[in-house]
Amino acid sequence: MEEMHQRNWLVGLIIGIIIGGIIGGIFGTYLVFQNPKLFPWTQKTVALQSSPSQNTTSQPATSTSNSTQPSIELAVENVVQKVSPAVVRIVSTKEVLDYFFLQVVPQQGLGSGVIIRPDGLILTNNHVIEDASKIEVTLSNGKTYKGKVVGADPISDVALVKINANNLPYVELGDSSKLKVGQFVVAIGNPYGLDHTVTVGVVSALERNINVGNKTMHGVIQTDAAINPGNSGGPLVSLDGKVIGINTMIYENAQGLGFAVSSNTCKKVIDSILKNGKVEWPFLGVEVTTMTPEIADQLHIKYRPGVLVAKVIKGSAADKAGIKQGDIIVSIDGKPVKTSDELINIIRSHNVGDHIIVEIARKGLSETLRLEVVLQAQPVPQQKKNKDNNPLAPFFNFGP
């Protein structure tokens, strides 16, 4: 009997401990969550328990990101449907000299272009049609026309070609000054003869000044959209269907480094060709470099932001105005100039014949000089041509 009493007492004790533990746990948990600041070691647990609601609120951002993908794809499809019918293939033929047989043979080049008027006015690159004796333009419907050069500008690498046709699909040139780095763009052209090839990329940089041979192309658009031989002259298009550039070149042996002439440059060339039959770019007539503290130390002068004149071209506007080698150009018409690119862009925003005030700092003078300059036309690099453009003339004397 006594043994049974002890057993009941032990069972009751165990049950009491269990019930007490449950009640204590419930009360303790309630106390902790009601007063988390009193129990700092529990804040991590509270935060973890709150994470499901944070995940719930972050879901819309994830779904929004995913939803942009179809919208971009749809925009690209719309651009292609709108612009591709106006993209043409251009095959140019020019006569070159076969040095082995000393005879003239035809050589063909392939490029692209885009129709900008329904009467058959086509925008392309100068290098696509340069020195061509024959131009053939093939439309998206497969019809081929004879092309005629209306005008060309070697400096900007822009040209206009006309075909005898009407009611053609055409595109509108957009405003390239509104472009943003990172903006999606579409390139359409005929690389390696693969008609109407479409590639997509972004605007990698704006207002690039690129040295090409013996000239500098100013204010071009850099893009990572794939551009290959045959793409030259084709349009670079924004997602609203506006042509914002004409694809012109790539860096050889590089990936994702393509360049396009901006649509605003193209507009200026088009207007000038159609109105005057030629293109003139304003020219100051100096070779410059951006001033740096290191250059100032080498020249033993005090550093100041500006552009150092390394050379003045004889007979140029700068030469006539009195600008000298070693001068530092600090402003144009009161606008500070800190880099050579800024100077180039300011000059190109003017017209030939414009009067500008160039402020310079000159070694030995305590104050700057303000010189009035009348901008001249930039000389166009000319290839030396013989009489009647005969390729054999360098080897034989054809008379005076």
Read off the tokens for 162.
Answer: 């006309």
- Selecting among 92, 127, 331, 340, the annotated active-site residue is 127
CA torsion, points 81, 85, 87, 90, in degrees to nearest 10?
150
Read off the tokens for 15.
Answer: 């049950």
Query: Which positions ≥6 away from 30 have C-beta within 8 Å?
Result: none
Active site residue 5: no
Read off the tokens for 83.
Answer: 């612009």
- Selecting among 92, 204, 232, 262, the annotated active-site residue is 232
Pairing of strands 235-238, 243-250: antiparallel
- Selecting among 157, 204, 238, 327, the annotated active-site residue is 157
Per the rule left: phi > 0, alpha: psi between -120 and 50, beta: everything else, 270 is alpha
Distance of CA 320 to the CA centre of its chain: 35
Distance of CA 388 to the CA centre of its chain: 40
Distance of CA 288 to the CA centre of its chain: 24
The contacts found for 44-51 with CB under 8 angstroms, 24 or more apart, are none
Q: Which helix (H) or strand (E) segment is 125 a member of?
A: none
- For the chain, give me the number of helices (H) and strands (E)? 7, 21
Active site residue 175: no
Angle at 205 between CA 200 and CA 206, to 5 degrees: 110
Asked whether 247 and 187 are in contact (CB, 8 A), the reply is yes
Active site residue 238: no
The Cα–Cα gap between 6 and 342 comes to: 100
Asked whether 122 and 92 are in contact (CB, 8 A), the reply is no
- Which one, of 94, 83, 233, 51, lies nearest residue 158 by Cα? 233
Asked whether 332 and 307 are in contact (CB, 8 A), the reply is no
- DSSP string covering 303-358: --SSEEEEEE-TTSHHHHHT--TT-EEEEETTEE--SHHHHHHHHHTS-TT-EEEE
Q: Which residues are catalytic?
A: 127, 157, 232
